[in-house]
Amino acid sequence: MLAELTAAQRAWRDEVRQFLTAAMTAGLQAELRSGAPEAAGPALTGFRQAVAARGWLGITWPAEFGGLGRTTVEQQILMDEFAYAGAPALDLTVASIAPVIMRFGTEANRRDWLPGIASGAVTFAIGYSEPEAGTDLASLRTAAVLDGDEWVISGVKAWNSQAHLASHEWLLVRTDPAAPQHQGLSIIVVPLAAPGIDVRPVPTWGGLLTHETSFAGVRVPRGNLIGEAGHGWDYAVGALDLERGVIATAGDLRRAVDDLREWAAGAGADELAWMRLAELEADVAVAQLFCLRSAQLLDAGLLPTVLATEGKIFCSELRQRISDLGLELLGPRGLLTSDERQAPLAGRMERMYRFAPVQRFAGGTNEVLRDIIAQRGHGMPRHRAGRGRS
């Protein structure tokens, strides 16, 4: 295994860079900076369409599903470059949901959803967490009951980040209240336009808008069940595994440290500042290697759960340290928000500091992930009772 890219992968990286150079127009950057995520502006919509038109939403899918059939490393390059450029990240739909449909979905599921996902017409909000079911996800209570040929869904989902933009909800629900906790769950796709759905905005410190989405007797066709009933936990946790393999990107971390280096060179930073930047540089290099190697192992047919999990922890905690030191080095002016013309680095470091806590608890909180490293990676004894996994 080489910690580097092949000639073909470099060419792909250059293609992505060229696209981003052209696509990250001043208008798009202004829209992204405006912090008004209530509606996608015309530039953002155009950007998403351009990405979809290139087939990049289905970059790793097999050709038989309308994908480009590219490797995980190439997807990693794409995500890294997007993050480096500050472009809108590729939709989680692509990273985690589509592969689940391909692997576990019925023939009808694939036909119903994959073409729309590939074209960008179908986008998902992830409906896993609930107000009372966070890290202990399997205790969730949103229920779906079969009534004739329809599922009737009632409950509340929390931290539903894309609910204002997505076309559908990828909903983890309890379909068998009598079954053991992990075995009574299923995945059902719900159009967000369906009657009975209420989306309540929840603003956050990071500026990102998230939502609490409630379902009051929402009815969807029976065929919206993904795969088999009772297997929802495997699909959701399987998706989390895949997500960890591809979601950890160090592209924004690399950019932040490069930003700080550029600032340090311009500002004539002293030796102490360079020494402290060197600490971050070492960690960013390691973060990039964690991500790249995980992708390489996935391409080699392995599921590098432990390494990818370590990478997720490492990247998310490094994000806090980079933005912390970054704001310290930039001084009081670094506290200016992006709407201030004088904001150094266009306010990116200030924004990063506010966003940084999220990745540390989202996508599997780091404390539980450390359990996974100890137990799956090192075979240490389990400390939680009644768990079906790990």
Partner 1 sequence: MSSAGPASMQELEELRRSVRGLFTRHWPVETARAFRYRPPGGLDTAPAGLWRALAHAGILGIPFPEPYGGGGASMAPLAVVLHEAGRALCPSLLAATLATARAIDGFGSEQQRAQWLPRLISGEMMAATVLTAGRAGHATAPIVRAHRRDHGWQLTGSLALVAGAAGADVLTVTVELLPPPGSGQSAALAIVPMAGDGVHVTPRSTMVGGELGDVLLDAVQITGNDLLGSSVEDPAPSHAAGSAVAHARAVLSVLRSLELLGGASAVLERTVAYASARRQFGRPIGSFQAVQHLVANASIAIDGAQLAAEHALLLVDRGGLAVREVAIAALTSGRASKQAMWTAHQVHGGIGFAAESDLHLWSERTKVLDVLSGGAGVHLADLAGALASSPLRPAKEDLSA
Residue 352: CA atoms inside 13 Å, Cβ hemisphere, count? 31
Query: Of the two residues 133 and 253, which places its CB atom closer to partner 1 in the complex?
Result: 253
Q: Answer yes or no whether residue 381 interacts with partner 1 by CB under 8 A.
A: yes
Can residue 292 be called a binding residue for partner 1 (CB under 8 A)?
yes
258 binds partner 1 (CB under 8 A): yes
Kindly tell me which of 84 and 124 has the beta carbon lying closer to partner 1.
Answer: 84
Q: Least CB distance from residue 28 to partner 1, whole Å?
A: 22
Please confirm, yes or no, whether 243 is among the known catalytic residues. yes
Q: Tell me which stretch binds partner 1 (CB under 8 A): 103-111, 284-292, 327-335, 341-349.
A: 284-292
The answer to whether 383 contacts partner 1 (rule: CB under 8 A) is yes
Q: Does 374 bind partner 1 (CB under 8 A)?
A: yes
What is the rounded distance in angstroms from the CA atom of residue 186 to the CA atom of residue 174? 6
Q: Check residue 301 for interaction with partner 1 (CB under 8 A).
A: no
Q: Which of residues 2-61 bind partner 1 (CB under 8 A)?
A: 2-5, 9-10, 13
Active-site pick, 130, 243, 310, 350: 243
Q: How far is the CB of 188 from partner 1 (least distance, A)?
A: 34
Candidate residues 78, 298, 307, 356; the one interacting with partner 1 per rule CB under 8 A: 307
The answer to the question of residue 284 lying near partner 1 (CB under 8 A) is yes
Question: Residue written as tokens 């932040």?
Answer: 256
- Tally the C-alpha atoms within 13 A of residue 263's C-alpha that lie toward its C-beta: 24
- Three-class HEC string of the chain: CCCCCCHHHHHHHHHHHHHHHHHCCHHHHHHHHCCCCCCCCHHHHHHHHHHHHCCHHHCCCCHHHCCCCCCHHHHHHHHHHHHHHCCCCCCHHHHHHHHHHHHHCCHHHHHHHHHHHHHCCCCEEEECCECCECCCHHHCCCEEEEECCEEEEEEEECCCCCCCCCCEEEEEEECCCCCCHHHCEEEEEEECCCCCEEEEEEECCCCCEEEEEEEEEEEEEHHHECCCCCCHHHHHHHHHHHHHHHHCCCHHHHHHHHHHHHHHHHHCCCHHHHHHHHHHHHHHHHHHHHHHHHHHHHHCCCCCHHHHHHHHHHHHHHHHHHHHHHHHHHCHHHHCCCCCCCCHHHHHHHHHHHHHHHHHHCCCCHHHHHHHHHHHHHCCCCCCCCCCCC
Nearest-approach distance from CB 270 to partner 1, in angstroms:
11
Task: Report the site for partner 1 in 79-98 (rule: CB under 8 A).
Answer: 84
* Distance, first Cα to last Cα, the chain: 28
Q: Which stretch binds partner 1 (CB under 8 A): 105-113, 186-194, 356-364, 370-378?
A: 370-378
Provide the minimum distance between the beta carbon of 322 and partner 1 in the complex, in angstroms, as a whole number. 14
Q: How far is the CB of 17 from partner 1 (least distance, A)?
A: 10
| Of 162-170, 221-229, 335-343, 365-373: span binding partner 1 (CB under 8 A) | 365-373
CB of 278 to partner 1, least distance (A): 4
* Site membership for partner 1, residue 385 (CB under 8 A): no
Candidates 94-102, 180-188, 202-210, 262-270: pick the segment binding partner 1 (CB under 8 A): 262-270
Q: Is residue 346 part of the contact set for partner 1 (CB under 8 A)?
A: no
375 binds partner 1 (CB under 8 A): yes
Which residues of this chain interact with partner 1, rule CB under 8 A? 1-5, 9-10, 13, 84, 254, 258, 261-262, 264-265, 271, 274-275, 277-279, 281-290, 292-293, 300, 306-307, 310, 313-314, 367, 369-371, 373-375, 377-383
The residues assigned a catalytic role are 243
